[in-house]
């Protein structure tokens, strides 16, 4: 059953308020939410295809990164102003500032099944403001990957559909998008 939501039903929340809720145990272990521009949004359950692609990408990250300098994380949040997105994968440089969670990353990856709108419309500006140099969206329904680079204050200057995922700035070898999409099963 769909519920109609009006603007009066939406409440803004600061990152500090969100962290107080987390720290007080207000969310149970099964609660899946993320804070985006001060709005607490539900996250949908993960499908097997979603998890398979995350696993394939995680394998590549764990095998291809300089683990002394970089740390790959799966399903880890970022603390960015009044947003606390929970990307599927991030790569952080060791020693990255953590006001609550890391405040930036060297690479952020979202695998989109039902979250394309959020991942392609709203999150790029958040990640760009945090200075994240490369942001990938693997759009499973669209059978494509969208690479964002050259962060600016209002978003990324370069956004393109790619056949190869590239993150040379962290020493990662290029990854064929076809291989990643095939992992979806």
Q: Residue 17 — left, alpha, or beta (φ > 0 → left; ψ -120 to 50 → alpha)?
A: alpha
Q: What is the mean pLDDT of residues 44-69?
A: 92
Rounded CA-CA distance 136/147 in Å is 5
Query: What whole-number distance in Å separates Cα of residue 129 and Cα of residue 138?
Result: 21
Q: Is the pLDDT of residue 8 over 80?
A: no
How far CA 170 is from CA of 45, 88, 174, in Å, comes to 31, 18, 11
**pLDDT tens, position by position, 73-85:** 999 999 999 999 9
More confident residue, 43 or 76: 76
Record the pTM. Answer: 0.84
Bridge partner residues of 135 (DSSP): 108, 148
Q: What is the DSSP pairing of strand 134-139 with strand 89-93?
A: unpaired
Residue with tokens 């490369």: 134
Q: Which domains does the chain have, with CATH numbers?
A: 44-182 (3.90.1570.10)
CA distance 81 to 14: 8
- Asked whether residue 1 carries a pLDDT value surpassing 50, the answer given is no
- Spatial neighbors of 116 by CB under 8 A, at least 6 apart, are 137, 139, 141, 142
Average pLDDT over residues 98-103: 92
Spell out a b/e string for 73-99, using b for 16 or more CB atoms within 10 Å of the CB, else e: beebbbbbebbbbbbbbbbbeeebeee
Instruction: Return the H-helix or E-strand segment holding 39.
Output: strand 39-42
């Amino acid at each position: 059953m769909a519920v109609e939501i009006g603007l009066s039903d939406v409440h803004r929340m600061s990152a500090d308020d969100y962290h107080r809720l987390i720290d007080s145990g207000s969310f149970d272990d099964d609660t899946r939410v993320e804070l985006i521009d001060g709005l607490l949004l539900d996250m949908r359950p993960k499908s097997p295809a979603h998890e398979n692609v995350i696993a394939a990408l995680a394998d590549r990250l764990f095998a291809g990164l300089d683990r002394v300098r970089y740390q790959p994380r799966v399903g880890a949040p970022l603390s960015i102003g009044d947003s606390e997105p929970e990307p599927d994968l991030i790569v952080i440089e060791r020693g990255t500032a953590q006001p609550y969670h890391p405040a930036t990353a060297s690479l952020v990856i979202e695998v989109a099944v039902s979250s394309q709108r959020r991942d392609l419309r709203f999150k790029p500006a958040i990640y760009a403001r945090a200075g994240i140099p490369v942001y990938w969206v693997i759009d499973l329904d669209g059978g494509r990957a969208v690479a964002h680079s050259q962060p600016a204050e209002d978003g990324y200057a370069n956004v393109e559909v790619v056949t190869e995922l590239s993150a040379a700035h962290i020493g990662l070898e290029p990854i064929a998008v076809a291989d990643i999409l095939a992992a979806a099963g």
